[in-house]
Structure formats: C-alpha cells, structure tokens
Structure 1
Amino acid sequence: MTMLLQVIAGFFGTISFAILFEAPKKYYLYCGAIGAFGWLIYLVIMHFWTMPITATFVASLALIYLSREASFALRAPVTIFLICGIFCLVPGLGIYNFTYNFFIGDSIQAAQIGIQVLKIAIAISLGITVGYELSPKCFFTYRRRQKALK
C-alpha cells in the first residue's frame, strides 16, 4: 500500500515540477506518468536489493528510455520529459543533510552523506548518458514512424 501511495505522490510531484518547469500543459500527464514509473522502478529495486546507487542507475535508464519514446511519439523535445521525470530521483534530502551536518561541524557524517549523494548523482548522469547512446532504432515509435514514411 505504501508503494502505491509513493508512486501516486511521485506522479503528482512530477506534474507539479512540470508546472514549475513551465512544460507545455499538454505534456503534464506524460511527464507525471514517466516520473511515477521511474519512481516505481526505483522502489521495486530498493525493495529487493536495497542498493540505492543501482536502483537510481536502472531507474534513470528507464526514464531516459521512456522520455525518448515519448519524445518520438509526441514529437517533442526529450528534455521536457526527462527533466521532469528525473525529479523524483534527485537526492534533495541527502544534499540538505550534507549541508546541515557540514555547517554544524559534524564533518564525518557530512562526508559520508556527501559521498552517498555524489554516487547517486553519478548514477543518474551515467544512466542518462547510457540511455542517450542508444540508437533511435531501439525505440518502437521511431521504427513505426520510419515504416509509415516508406
């Protein structure tokens, strides 16, 4: 039940960020669905393996795939869907805790949290990089559009 509530919260949180990001209104639901699906993948992996770096990497791979698929299908820039969708995976609380511990003088705790946040940020960037390197031929909508043009 809590997983379902988190996915719903991820959906609405992603839509809220899409509004803040000033994405076109016609893409709000797509952004929300992509963000919620990315968060669902993260939660499922964390449920079975409890490895946040791996879960973040796989979820960001799924997000870039879904963002590119939506981009081909809706003929819109991929960044609209990707930036909004990745919102759930960004380690905002970790960055806050790092900053808090750093300024109160708890250097050891700050360093531990900072390293974890850095690993998650690298996992997000590697997932996006690997996903961008996929050929357009890997995407169903792209292939379907190419067949229709022939």
Structure 2
Amino acid sequence: MILLQLIAGFLGTVSFAILFESPKRYYLYCGGIDAFGWFIYLVIMHYWTVPVTATFVSALVLTFLSREAAYALRAPVTIFLICGIFCLVPGIGIYNFTYNFFIGDSVKAAQTGVQVLKIAIAISLGISVAYEFSPKWFYAYRRRQKLLEQKNK
C-alpha cells in the first residue's frame, strides 16, 4: 500500500512539474523529493497520528532536500520545493471546508477549516525553519565551495 502511494505521489508530482513548466531534466528529482517527503509523512502518521506534526516534519525534510538538490544541480530551490510540497497541501480538506460552508453546515466547516489552517501553518513553518539552516549544512554547497577554492589557487 505504501509503495503504491509513493508511486502515485511520484507520478502526480512529475505531472505537476510538467504543468508548472519545470525544465525536463528536473522531473525525476522533483518526483523523488516528493516521494521521499510523502514517505516521511506516512511513517510519522503510522507511529504518531498527528497530521500537523507529520506535515511539519515532512515540509522540513522536503525543504532540506530541495535546497540540497538546488545546490547540487545549480537550479532555483523553488523548482523542487513547489513541486515537492504538492503532496502535503490539504486539497481534500479545503474542498470539504468549502462544501460544508456552502451547504450551511457551519460546525463541520469550522472544524475542517481549523484543521486545514493548522496544516497550512505547519507547511509554512517547516519551510521557514528549514530555510534558517546555513548553506554550510549542505554537502553540494560545501563541495562547490571547495572546487571554487581549488580553482582560484
């Protein structure tokens, strides 16, 4: 079941990368980053069923991987991050909130809306915290700096 979800996440993200008009050479990286982030989410949800925490940790990992890929491939982080975050966006929650709101079920709409808001905040906090990491934490950054130093000698 998990493998099927990872494959679906990978294919969905590659499809989103195509729609997002990412360069073709990054499709597999976008899909791989997303699949890994979704795997982290599923593992956390298996052991600790708190979607907000699982979303936060997954967003943190996705941002870290996106920055690593950006340094390694010399590409903008947003190519990998926007495509990678795709799996964490609470689309069904937003749909349920809107549906319940318009049919007049205010209590259910409020409950769903609060959960969606918590997940959205967890995504933004995960990205923000991961962006606070120094570039020196990334292997590709350090390798590129070392090559530049050797070249300048």
* TM-score, with length taken from structure 2: 0.96
| Structure 1 letter corresponding to 2:8 | A
* TM-score, with length taken from structure 1: 0.98
Render the CA deviation track for 1:36-84: whole Å, top value 9, x for unaligned.
Answer: 0010000000000011000000000000000000000000000000000
Mapping of residues 37-116 of structure 1, within 5 Å: 37-116=36-115
CA distance in structure 1 between the partners assigned to 2:128 and 2:19 by the alignment: 25
RMSD value, Cα: 0.5
Render the CA deviation track for 1:101-145: whole Å, top value 9, x for unaligned.
Answer: 000010000000000000000000000001111110010110111
Partner of 2:24: 25
Partner of 2:143: 144
| Structure 2 letter corresponding to 1:121 | A
By how many angstroms is 1:147 displaced? 1.3
Structure number with bigger Rg: 2
Query: Is the partner of 1:11 in helix, strand or coil?
Result: helix
Q: Does 1:117 align with 2:94?
A: no
Gaps of 5+ in 1: none
CA distance in structure 1 between the partners assigned to 2:2 and 2:85 by the alignment: 18
Query: Is the partner of 1:76 in helix, strand or coil?
Result: coil
CA distance in structure 2 between the partners assigned to 1:133 and 1:97 by the alignment: 34
Identity of aligned residues (%): 78
CA distance in structure 2 between the partners assigned to 1:144 and 1:26 by the alignment: 21
Aligned residues: 149
Partner of 1:9: 8
CA distance in structure 2 between the partners assigned to 1:47 and 1:99 by the alignment: 28
By how many angstroms is 1:149 displaced? 1.6
Q: Which runs of 4+ in 1 moved over 3 A?
A: none
Query: Is the partner of 2:147 in helix, strand or coil?
Result: helix
